[in-house]
Amino acid sequence: MSTPTAFTLPGLLPELEVVRKDFPILERTLPGDRSLVYLDSANTSQKPQCVIDAMVDHLERHNANIARAMHQLGAESTEAFEQARADVAAFLNAPRVEEVVFTKNATEALNLVANTVHLQPGDNVVITEMEHHSNIVPWQLACERSGAELRWFDLQTEGEDAGRLDLAGGDARGVIDENTKVVAFTWVSNMLGTVNPVRELADRARAVGAISVVDASQAAPQLPVDVQEAGVDLLAFTGHKVCGPTGIGVLWGRYDLLAALPPFLGGGEMIETVRMERSTFAAPPQRFEAGTPPIVEAVGLGAAVRYLGDLGLENVRRHEEAITRYALEGLATVPGLRVLGPGIDAPEGRGGAIAFELDGVHPHDIAQVLDSRGVAVRAGHHCAKPAHARYGVQSSTRMSSYLYTTPSEIDALVEGLEYTRSYFKLG
């Protein structure tokens, strides 16, 4: 296998080898004594030791239910949970800690919004063709329930604008109009790596009195997410892609907007008072956190966003850009390989997910051969079937880097793709 080379690229995280030591899983080897080359971070990121330790410490020393246990452990657990909320608020530069709602994942956060925003016949909801299924299906369901109309901005696949939304075309068609109640879109595409002009889209929503809902699942891991600067109304992301555990996600919302939304799930801890006839409800965020929440997962998420904050999201973004540029250059040397998505010099930059096709080999078979060499990538539709359909393909292979990815891992991918071509006898 390729040996780790000491060479560096402009923009990589300083002391990358030291940073990598924070992630114990990167040390492990696979059968045949192959090193792990993990290029599936857009699927889920690996976890630094500090996150693992924070969760173990909580379970070993502080475990208790929160907000109700009248004992010392209960107080410690509650404090740890609420500290995590404060950590997330700081991570997002949220004006108020109470604007952070803990959910199970980004999908639940988006469903929470789609189930509580009032819609009726005559209204419309605007999404985009590059959304993850979790920002399409909840809106389809909401529109079916309410009689509202579902509209979308198209995805472009050709020329300089490949991988970018056709905002001008959407404007010309009047996609957003005075009846638009919601404009929901992804900040960074999980399939294409496209970075959308968030501020511009949020401004379009605000201009007609609609709320903007942003899926930041891929943005939060790799670039600074400042909800005030972005000017958005509601924003969702998931814990496990930002070095945190699974089982926890976040819905951030402007406080006045959250305060105007009805409850989503009913149950314990979301009430003010309950009588047999009817109940009144707690203020946000508790209104949206029915039942015992994922406590240790919140503690882990808090540690994760503190870790990212210490590294500096600007530094992480620069690292991702450097690795992505290097990867695009490497992939361009593989005959018959076509990248689906924007080039590195797209105006808004580019995220670290690169979906591609290789002539003559199905993505599933590519992933299998790469896996036999220890290179982990994702193959399939990446929960973005409409975007694949727009490109005229059923599926693709996706490599996704993260803050711990090295140039030599990209070399291993490129070598693996060359080997894949020779294995399937493609010249």
Partner 1 sequence: MSAELDSLYQDVILDHAKRRLGAGLREPFEAEVHHVNPTCGDEVTLRVHLDGGTVADISYDALGCSISTASASVMTEVLVGRPVAEAETVLEEFLAMMRGKGAYEPDEDVLEDAVAFQGTARLSARVKCALLSWMAYQDAVTRAADPEETR
**105-122 CB burial, b ≥16 within 10 A, e <16:** bbbbbbbbbbbbbebeee
Does residue 2 belong to the site contacting partner 1 (CB under 8 A)? no
Site mask for partner 1 (CB under 8 A), range 17-36, x = bound: ---------------x----
* Nearer to partner 1 (CB atom), residue 42 or residue 369: 369
> Angle of helix 72-92 relative to helix 295-311, nearest 10 degrees?
40
Nearest distance in Å: CB 373, partner 1? 7
Question: Phi-psi bin for 299: left (phi > 0), alpha (psi -120 to 50), beta?
Answer: alpha
Nearest distance in Å: CB 378, partner 1: 10
Rule CB under 8 A: is residue 44 a binding residue for partner 1? no
DSSP letter assigned to residue 231: T
Measured between alpha carbons, how far is 200 from 197 in angstroms, rounded to an integer? Answer: 5
* Residues in 381-420 at the binding interface with partner 1, rule: CB under 8 A: 381, 385, 388, 394-395
- Name residues contacting partner 1, limited to 308-327 (CB under 8 A): none
Interaction pattern, residues 369-388, with partner 1; x per rule: CB under 8 A: x--xx-----xxx---x--x
| Residue 425: CB minimum distance to partner 1, A | 9
Beta strands in 68-199 (DSSP E): 100-103, 124-128, 149-153, 180-186
Q: Which CB, 217 or 397, lies closer to partner 1? A: 397
Beta carbon of residue 166, minimum distance to partner 1 (angstroms, whole number): 24
Which helix H or strand E contains 355, and what residues bound it?
strand 353-358
Q: Exposed e or buried b for every residue in 29-49, given b needs 16+ CB within 10 A?
A: eeeeeebbbbbbbbbbbbbbe
Q: In this structure, what DSSP letter does residue 280 have?
A: E
143 is catalytic: no
- The structure tokens listed for 17 are 């080898």
Catalytic residue among 50, 143, 243, 383: 383
Q: Does 368 bind partner 1 (CB under 8 A)?
A: yes
- Tell me the catalytic residues: 383
Give me the residues that bind partner 1 (CB under 8 A), please: 32, 362-365, 368-369, 372-373, 379-381, 385, 388, 394-395, 423-424
